[in-house]
Structure 1
Amino acid sequence: MGKSQKKRAMRRHNPMRVPDSHLPKGLTAASSSSNKTEAVLPIIKKMENADPVERKWACVAVSNLIYNDPSTRRLLQGKNVVGTLIGRLTDSEEEVVVEAAGALRNLCIDGGYEICAEMYNKNILAPLSTFVPKISSILAQYIDSPKTAPENAQKVVYEFAENVITILWCLSETSNKALNAVNNLTLVPFLMAFLLSRDRLPLPTVTSAAQCLYVLTDDNTPVADEVRVNFSYISCLIEIAKARGSIHEFKDSAKRRAVTLGILTCGILRNLAPFPPPSSIASVDLDNEILLPMLVPVVSVGLLQEATETVRELVLAHQSETSDANQRNTGPKLDHKSETEIGLERVETSLRATQLALEILTGVCATLPDPDLEPGVDDEVFENEVLEDSAADDSAMDDARDDVMAVDDATLGPNDSHIPTTPSFLPTLLEPLLALIQPTELSFPVPSPHAPTTSALSAIHIAAFECLSNAFFALAAAPGSAASDVHAGQRVWSTVWVALAGAGNPLEAAAGSARATVWDVAVGVLWSVGTIWTGKIVPEEAQVQALIALCDARTDDAVRVKCIGALSALAQHADPASLDANRVIASYLLGLLVPGRTGTETMLQAAESLIDIFADERAPAEANFRAGNVLEALAGAVEGVRRAVKGIDRKKEGGRELRRHGEEVRDNLVAFVRYRRSLKV
């Protein structure tokens, strides 16, 4: 089976350089915003020319025209450039085929999922599937007898292989349907052949094979199993991951791709883990012995500010070059990339490597088990509705819940979890992550002077926030809590808010934009930090209002739950000076208990947070509890919470876990109201 839809919505490795979904739709908008409109039709016509030289020229021209130019790309797409280029993949001239594959590869990377979906729908896999065995045959010939073909011929084949592999990689990220079709090509031996023979092949081609394999092994059982059971494959991947070299040479172009290859193999290994015994790697501490020594130095290099300054200088130089070229020649530029363009691509490659390392580290930091129940759990455990009223048998439900957890434990073997008992690497990782969440002047500008850099920088900020969130949630659940170091928690909290100030007002950011996503992910960090240092973070009015405004603005329950969690931590600050913040937050959360105002998860989190906020009747916040008549408000909310829990559909993804959690919150709310009433205060 392919990747689940949930995973597809949470892509960790985006093949797109620059998302362009914000651009106006339609040919008219593309024509008006592109300065190359007149060059498009002649190029499309030349692709059908009888002269192969003209067809080759047209394919090359497409790649040049779309470079960092989404408007022209969309204009070409409206003229069916995708279908025309796919037709050229069966051209009688090999050079035309090679250039067509290169143009399609560039369209995949620059255009993203929309164009990839169009390619799949226009059956690009039919010609691609014929290329795989041909490339494999030529590859074996070159490896066995490297002198059988001139160097320039080998270069063409390797570049062609890189283009084909990259297209397959991008297609596999398009949809489950496309992924399943790519699975049917049985690509593992094809891709691993490049990695196994890496010392005799160009590094860019080997790296593209690793990228494709990284995506294909991510939550994709057929491919992961095929790699996992082959000892030679695993040994090869471990060998590459351990051959790290000096990370200080990361900025050198000769080492950049080697570092990226090492990062990708780390990602592949983590996708494959855990490894079943008697495999020798089953006893290896994959995270601490292989992954962290490779990944932590990469994110510790701290390239963001330096990259921003370099890009600013290169963009100015490129603008000067372009201006001079336009004065000399008004035709489309079809020659090789300039030094400034190559320099910009080098910076982007470095930034993307950092992003990739962060994405893998996010998984390493996620040391908490997946809350979803195993598929084998008997759903009938949940079939009996319990606690129809407040007098229901609590012990019966507790026994049922214990039975479910026992089944969970029984389904897990000794090697089903490579979860460390404590994130001991966090102190080393904390400072680099706090640096990587800080925006630079190129992180969010609209329009950006260099869109690929802006896209990479914002992706790094998002990945760093995700990594921090996972790490602190893991730390909260680990033995030996860090709660005693209050200064550390307060410093992380304030540093996150500094980064958010740089990201700008979330209410002014377009839905789905990088700015909005930064805020949505960052509140998870605030929640996790607040979970560890509950009651230790001094609430500031501006921060409280910002969290409330964000919670109101979002429709996604997951984001709203994180906002409420962060607010709950602030409301529990045990100081009389913080009573105003406590009152504001409590009043807001009580408003979320009104049936129909919000989603079930948000309502449950609000109820749970209110119980936590007023758990201690001896705390200063008790004054707000009494003055605000909170007890009666909670008692009045019980029926609404009960109805919301009863309405949870267990058949939906995550429904069983949400139902179980909802029943727990409902019981706690009933018990809290009873207890408070029993005090007769």
Structure 2
Amino acid sequence: MGKAKKLSRNALLRVSALRGSRAQAVTGPSTPPSAQEQAIPLIKKLSSVDPKDRALAASAIANLIENPVIRRALLKEKVVQTILEQSLTDSSEEVIVEGFGVLRNLALEEGYDVCVFLWRKDILAIVLSYLGKIQTNLAYLKDSNAAQKTLLFNLIENLLSLLTSLGGSSDDIYESIVSRLPDLPIFVLDILANPTIPDFVKVIAAENLYVLSEANAAYIDKIQCSGFITDGKLGVAVKLYLSGVEYNILETSQTASIDLLDVVRSVNEGLQAIDINKAIEVMQPTTIDGVVQPTIYDDNYRSAQDCFVAVQVGLELLTEISEALVMRSQHGRQNRQTEPDEDHDNQDDMDILEDENEMVVEYETKDGVDSPVVALLLDSVLPVVAEFVQFKELRSRALQALNNMTWTFNSFVPHWGNSKARTLWSCILRLLLSSDDLDLESRTGSAGVLWACGKLKPKFVSEISVNDVRRLIREFQQGGETEESLEFKVRIVGLLGVLALPHVDIDVTKEISIFLLTLVLSTQHKPPEIVIEALNAIYDIFADISYPFDDEIFVKGEFLNHLMKIQPQVKQMAKNIDRRKNLQLRTKADEVVVNLQRFVAYKIKERRGLLNKQ
């Protein structure tokens, strides 16, 4: 199945998607002199005798960090060390707050490298000391003036966001936070329950709770013991994060009283409540005379960014939930399986199968389970998620969610409706075939959705043309050789396999079949995942001699001879997979070897039977 993998914690970092990926941003020539000229004076001002100058310098640095060239210059001038050694120990509270803002933004933009450096410099000890001070100040919040409150709220925001980035960057740092800051979830819950704290701080607090409570039994226990926040006055972005926390509780705790249906309904309502058009418009970079201006992190921008990231979280939650439903269904089915028949076990592997459905092929689940959650996903959530595909900034996340949802529908509701599937098919196929600027994640998600829809074997798939197939094959050939591109290629092969149906134009089936055979004949030079999927597709396409294209393509193309000759290479491919390192792949490879033997024997008998009738 082409399910999307669960996103890691560091996938949630709040780097603006409107500016492109981090990898694209930081590659290039060495730091230009102009960037150095901007960076050096600012770092020098961090040591000014005037606290206002120090604060302004730190604030300017925090805003300039989104510029990759200037950021590189700042890092080269050891801005992190300066902030740690000077700004965080400054006598001015404003300088301290802005210093944490610099570290927060650097952690967001640079990710792992900066986070590990900070961790090794024992940033957690510094954070822990300031959390204590914050709790003291919160106790006297009513007596504070407006300026003091603003500083306190900004400090909370910067600290919690920094911890979120740190925890999302590496498992080691994550575990260190959990062990050294065991009461952090209680602190965050207090922030969320405090009516005097503004919403922008609560969004960051909820995000922190969501990210750090993932598979974290210790935090989950504290959250449950402390009481969970269900205040209806919380903003929509906060509520989406808290839905994520509820799902984390549901996945981790054995005593959770949370209903998954309520979680899905809450996520769907949250996604519908957010005006994503407005959020993206606010986040668009400002350009003056062709020069992109630094982002102004005012309340309007922060609110838009909060909504944008909350939508990403909502889409990720739906991706995870959909996958979990399928996994639970499969687990339940395995538990219900009866003991195998002894006579069947004693049959030789080379026995000829009379029915291709008896082959050891991984077919989709078709339990027809009546699940209210699946019904909600199909009837209400699907159209909401599909709307987000139109936004380039959210497209890959939306397609990952749609991919897992469509495979879930195939498992629970095999006939989930031609109208819904047709609409989705048409939209995603047009996107994949006509968009030249799709990133790899979006192409992979698109291929997965189309593959799942095609598995239903609907009539509308016959509308595919030979040119469409050739475009898909070109997509495969131009996919690259990375691990990420491998998943895309596997999905393209799976998609092509379901397009070669009996009611499809024979030229389409021929084009696909020849391509699949070419992949199989290159077994020694192709990843086993691709060869396995190509063989499984061939088994399905030519499963029945009555199909109109069997003689024209399989017989005249001498597919049987080619498959017989390739058997030793396929066996060797399976043997080369270390089952200790990749048991799942080795199991699939062993199955495809057995099925190849059986398929060849089956097709030989099939042809003999036809000749005898003649």
Normalization by structure 2: what TM-score?
Answer: 0.82
SS in structure 2 of the partner of residue 168 of structure 1:
helix
Q: 1:618 to 1:337 in 2, by over 3 A?
A: closer
Measure, in 1, the Cα distance between the counterparts of 2:9 and 2:453. Answer: 23
Q: Is 1:236 aligned to residue 237 of structure 2?
A: no
The 3 A distance-change label for structure 1 pair 118 and 322 is same
Q: Any unmatched runs of 5+ in structure 2?
A: 333-344, 354-359, 361-369
CA drift of 1:503 comes to: 3.8
Q: Secondary structure at the match of 1:504?
A: coil
CA distance in 2 between partners of 1:392 and 1:82 (Å):
68
Specify the alignment match of 1:468 in structure 2: 402
Q: Which amino acid aligns with 2:529?
A: E
Contact between 1:434 and 1:496, CA under 8 Å: does it hold in 2? no
Answer whether contact 1:59 1:99 (CA < 8 A) is retained. yes
The aligned counterpart of 1:77 is 75
Q: What displacement does 1:179 show?
A: 1.7
Question: How far is the alpha carbon of 1:302 from its aligned partner?
Answer: 7.7
Cα offset for 1:321?
A: 13
1:176 aligns with 2:178: no
Shift of 1:322: 9.3
Asked whether 1:667 is paired with 2:577, we answer no
Which amino acid is the alignment partner of residue 194 of structure 1? Answer: D
**8 Å contact 2:352–2:601 — kept in the other structure?**
no
**Rounded Cα–Cα distance in structure 1 between residues aligned with 2:58 and 2:553:** 71
Q: Tell me the residue number matched to 1:22.
A: 24
**Corresponding position: 1:267 with 2:267:** no
CA contact (8 A) 1:530 1:537 kept: yes
Q: For residues 25 and 189 of structure 1, do their structure 2 counterparts lie closer, same or farther at Cα, with a shift above 3 Å needed?
A: closer
Letter of the structure 2 residue corresponding to residue 550 of structure 1: E
User: What is the aligned partner in structure 2 of residue 150 from structure 1?
Assistant: 145
Corresponding letter in the other structure for 1:20: R
Deviations 1:354-374 (A, max 9, x none): 222211122222221179999
**One-letter code of the match for 2:207?**
Q
8 Å CA contact 1:173–1:179 kept in 2: the answer is yes
Aligned equivalent of 2:339: none
Whole-Å separation in 1 of the counterparts to 2:270 and 2:203: 17
Q: Rate the CA distance shift 1:175–1:274 in 2: closer, same or farther, 3 A.
A: closer
Match runs of 1:163-312 below 5 Å: 163-185=158-180, 186-195=182-191, 197-218=193-214, 220=215, 223-228=216-221, 230-233=223-226, 235-237=227-229, 239-240=230-231, 243=232, 258-274=235-251, 276=253, 279=255, 281-282=256-257, 284-286=258-260, 288-289=261-262, 291-300=263-272, 303=275
How much does 1:608 deviate? 0.7
| 1:395-426 CA distance string (max 9 Å, x none) | xxxxxx9xxxxxxxxxxxxxxxx986744431
1:330 corresponding residue in structure 2? none
CA contact (8 A) 1:534 1:570 kept: no
Deviations 1:515-570 (A, max 9, x none): 22211221111111111236751222233122222222233332221111110111
Q: Give the aligned residue type for 1:136.
A: Q
Q: Which amino acid aligns with 1:461?
A: R
Question: d(CA) in 2 for partners of 1:148 and 1:127?
Answer: 26
| Alignment: residue pair count | 565
Do the aligned partners of 1:128 and 1:164 also contact (CA within 8 Å) in 2? yes
Q: For residue 426 of structure 2, what is the amino acid of its counterpart? A: S
Determine if the alignment matches structure 1 residue 527 to structure 2 residue 446.
no
Q: CA deviation at 1:272?
A: 2.1
Report the counterpart of residue 549 of structure 2 in structure 1.
621
Report the equivalent of 1:512. Answer: none
> Are residues 153 and 301 of structure 1, via their aligned partners in 2, closer, same or farther at CA, if it must alter by over 3 Å?
closer
List aligned pairs for 1:315-330, cutoff 5 A. 315=286, 319=288
Tell me: CA distance 1:148–1:532, structure 2 relative to 1, closer, same or farther (3 Å): same
Judged with a 3 Å threshold, the aligned counterparts in structure 2 of structure 1 residues 307 and 173 are, in CA distance, closer, same or farther, namely: closer
Structure-1 separation of matches of 2:532 and 2:82: 54
CA contact (8 A) 1:561 1:605 kept: yes
The superposition leaves residues 135-179 of structure 1 with CA deviations (integer Å, 9 ceiling, x where unpaired) of: 23433x23xxx4343343233222212111111111111122222
Give the Cα separation in 2 of the matches to 1:297 and 1:494: 26
TM-superposed deviation, 1:9: 5.7
**Gaps in structure 1 of 5+ consecutive residues:** 1-5, 246-256, 327-332, 375-385, 395-400, 402-417, 444-456, 507-514
> Do residues 561 (structure 1) and 519 (structure 2) align?
no
Is structure 2 residue 368 aligned with structure 1 residue 368?
A: no
Q: CA separation in 2, counterparts of 1:135 and 1:301?
A: 33
Aligned partner letter, 2:270: V
Deviates more, 1:35-44 or 1:632-641: 35-44
Residues 62 and 103 of structure 1 are in contact (CA less than 8 Å); yes or no, is this contact kept in structure 2?
A: yes
Whether 1:429 aligns to 2:378 is no
Report the Cα distance in structure 1 between the residues aligned to 2:300 and 2:319, rounded to whole angstroms. 29
Distance 2:222 2:42 in 1: 48
Does the alignment pair 1:489 with 2:421? yes
Q: Relative to 1, partners in 2 of residues 1:188 and 1:129: Cα closer, same or farther, differing over 3 Å?
A: closer
In the alignment, does 2:499 pair up with 1:541? no
C-alpha separation between the residues in 2 aligned to 1:24 and 1:229? 40
For 2:212, the aligned partner's letter is: L
Which of 589, 598, 615 is the equivalent residue of 2:526?
Answer: 598
Contact 1:535 1:573 in 2 (8 A): no
User: What is the rounded CA distance, in whole Å, between the counterparts of 1:613 and 1:535 in structure 2?
Assistant: 16
1:649 deviates by 1.7
| Structure 2 counterpart of 1:236, one-letter code | F
How far does the alpha carbon of each residue in 1:629-657 deviate from its partner, in whole angstroms, 9 at most, with x for none?
112222222222222222222222xx122
Cα displacement (A) at 1:345: 4.7
Q: Secondary structure at the match of 2:507?
A: helix
Structure 1 pair 262/107, CA: closer, same or farther in 2 (3 Å)?
same
Q: Partner of 2:98 in structure 1?
A: 99
The separation in 1 between residues aligned to 2:252 and 2:108, in whole angstroms, is: 33
State the 1:60 CA deviation: 2.0
- State the alpha-carbon separation in 1 of the partners of residues 372 and 529 from structure 2: 29
Preserved CA contact (<8 Å) 1:355 1:463? yes
Mapped to 1, the partners of 2:372 and 2:410 lie a distance apart of: 13
- 1:433 shift after superposition: 2.6
The match for 1:550 is 475
Say what the alpha-carbon RMSD is for the aligned residues: 3.6
**Whole-angstrom distance in 2 between the partners of 1:427 and 1:175:** 38
Q: Does 1:359 align with 2:360?
A: no
Whole-Å Cα distance in 2 between the matches of residues 321 and 368 of structure 1?
49
Q: Give the CA deviation at 1:95.
A: 3.1
Q: Is the 8 A contact 1:535 1:570 kept in 2?
A: no
Shift of 1:12: 4.3
Which structure has more RCO (C-alpha within 8 Å, separation ≥ 6)? 2
Partner of 1:637: 566
Listed one character per residue, the Cα deviations across residues 176-213 of structure 1 (whole Å, up to 9, x for unaligned) are 22222222222434443435533242322222121111
Shifted more, 107-116 versus 599-608: the winner is 107-116
